[in-house]
Structure 1
Amino acid sequence: MSHIVDLTMPYTSEMAGFNKTVSKTITDDGWNASTLAFYSHCGTHMDAPIHFNVSNQTIDKMPVADFVGKAWVINAKHIEAKGLITVSDIPNAIKKKFEAGDSLIIWTNWSRFINTSKYRDELPRISEDLALWCVDKKVKMIGVEPPSVADVNNIAEVTKIHQILLKSVVIIEGLANIDKLKSNCVELIALPLKIEGGDGSPARVIAIEKY
């Protein structure tokens, strides 16, 4: 048996950076269709190394094997607004089981603030020591609930953390529904749009739990 959880937030008219307008209608054209416009890093999305000039690798050139793998769910709900998530927040039991190529999902419950100013301006952040740990331990993907892994209002911090991680770690931001997971180890699948030359892309992200 398996339990599949959608970790993707819906794209709505309230979301900053996204807009949907009517393009075709059944009445006038014979079918319904929309025109979509979105910022490449809005909603649930993934970053490419070129996002912070770590390398010239764009979203369409990232290996699809990097988008699928075992992930450990780290309970960091105790981290307060603007707090730092550190290596010490990873339980020792998970550290002992962690293998190169595994991924991390950081559960802060921050998605409850989606579409508020708090969601962007007071987010809990990945610390430098955790970012370096991820690179050292060969973490494949790191997924977070806030819209960024670092303080978007601090250009030095947001640049440093992204540049550390994007050397080898796939960044997924804007996750939701982590509270619906029943275990701390899942199969994570995160698929971005294949945008030529893309610095990032919206993504459909799911977690599969097997029993």
Structure 2
Amino acid sequence: MYFIDLSQPLDNATPLYPGDPETKLTPSHTIEDDGFAAHYLCLGTHTGTHLDVPSHLIAGGENADSLPLAKTVGRLVYVSVASGFVLADLKRLSIQKGDAVLFHTGRDKEYYEAAYFNEYPEMPHEVAEYLAEKQVHLVGIDSCSIDRAPYIEHRYLLERGILLLENLTNLNAVREGAFTLYAFPLRLPVDGSPVRAVAVSL
């Protein structure tokens, strides 16, 4: 068994989606002064590698703490979209109910650059429809989003109970092989959560 970390670092330098709250990670206690070390952490629920859940866009939708955890675990299906989303590429894959489909854009290489939040491929509606038809549990991407405001594809997938995992990295490492994705959210009664996304191969 081996593990591949698909998560971006989370610290004071973590890039923020425009309008998101600032991340603050500061010492609250030190070994020198207090005999133990501890930190204060303040961040938005959609900071870093994180999960969007239905209540992110749907009033009364499911929160992170009420999700069936089985929805955050699934057979990982890798899809390259370096040249854009192409429905025919998905149809050549054996996508099954309950899968976690991860789209590799390569944008994670520019995570700390301003262009990261401005230049990224958007998912066509026909692709979102196909994923919903296949009843996947989760869709992930190594960019900041699958679309732009007014977030039509975001809403379309979340309305159908499909979770969205954003700001992934290292997807090139899961291009080949059989993996299971684990992306557990914190038990928060809100619209999303940072996660430690990990691909596991048996």
TM-score scaled by length of structure 1: 0.87
Kindly indicate which of the two structures has a greater share of residues assigned to strand: 1
Match of 2:169 in 1: 176
Correspondence 1:37-48 to 2 at 5 A: 37-48=42-53
Identity value in percent: 27
Match of 1:88 in 2: 88
Find runs of 4+ consecutive structure 1 residues off by over 6 angstroms.
Answer: none
CA distance in 1 between counterparts of 2:179 and 2:107 reads 20
The one of 188, 193, 196 aligned to 1:201: 193
CA distance in 2 between counterparts of 1:207 and 1:186 reads 6
Given the superposition, is the C-alpha separation of residues 63 and 14 from structure 1 closer, same or farther in structure 2, using an over 3 Å criterion?
same
User: Is the Cα–Cα contact under 8 Å of residues 99 and 137 in structure 2 kept in the other structure?
Assistant: yes
CA distance in 1 between counterparts of 2:177 and 2:167 reads 19
Correspondence 1:142-181 to 2 at 5 A: 142-151=139-148, 155-156=149-150, 158=151, 160-167=152-159, 168-181=161-174
CA distance in 2 between counterparts of 1:89 and 1:179 reads 17
- For residues 12-52 of structure 1, the C-alpha deviation after alignment (integer angstroms, 9 at most, x for no partner) is 22213422111111111111111011111111000110100
User: Is the Cα–Cα contact under 8 Å of residues 105 and 142 in structure 2 kept in the other structure?
Assistant: yes
Match of 1:25 in 2: 30
CA distance in 2 between counterparts of 1:141 and 1:187 reads 12
SS at match of 2:155: helix
CA distance in 2 between counterparts of 1:120 and 1:55 reads 28
Match of 1:134 in 2: 131
Superposed displacement of residue 186, structure 1: 1.6
Match of 1:82 in 2: none
CA distance in 1 between counterparts of 2:135 and 2:81 reads 21
Unaligned 5+ runs, structure 1: 80-84
| Root mean square deviation of aligned Cα | 1.5
Q: Does 1:188 align with 2:181?
A: yes
Aligned length: 195
Unaligned 5+ runs, structure 2: 17-21
Superposed displacement of residue 181, structure 1: 2.3
Match of 2:19 in 1: none
TM-score scaled by length of structure 2: 0.90
